[in-house]
Amino acid sequence: MKNKISKIGWIVFITMIIVPSEAVWGQDAKAPTTLTLAKAVMCEAIQEYAPANPAVVFSIYLGRVSCFTEFDPVPEKTTIHHKWYQNDILVTEKRLTINPPRWSSFTSVQLRESDKGPWRVEVTDENDNLMRTLRFSITD
């Protein structure tokens, strides 16, 4: 009996040394812990879930401009915000939910004649920490 217990003890000991702890405890030791903004661009449109014609100057005659963001990794379900400013005045704030393991999203504004001039979109996390500022202009 003592021999049997001794063998089991050695098997457990060797298993703990050889097998990674995440396999034993059901945790992924390499799981990302930080939300990372991998890509952020202003564009004319979204086509097939990707930004089309990225730029920093847009014609008013497009009728619409979009902010595309891609997060990789996304460690857990969370929210981000696209804050649209014209001439340093907040015009609209869009709250977006993003999910693991990676996520892309976009927001758009419809353009009017009065929207000419400098703009920016601030991308922030759920705690309002600034992740990126995208500056662009609307012209004729």
Radius of gyration for the alpha carbons in the chain, expressed in angstroms and rounded = 24
| pLDDT score for 104 | 98
Largest CA distance in the chain: 89
Per-residue pLDDT of the chain (140 residues; tens, 9 = 90+): 556 555 555 454 444 445 454 444 455 556 568 999 999 999 999 999 999 999 999 999 999 999 999 999 999 999 999 999 999 999 999 999 999 999 999 999 999 999 999 999 999 999 999 999 999 999 99
Which residue bears the tokens 């457990």? Answer: 12
| pLDDT score for 33 | 85
Q: Cα separation of 134 and 84, whole Å?
A: 10
| pLDDT score for 20 | 52
Kind and range of the H or E run holding 61 = none
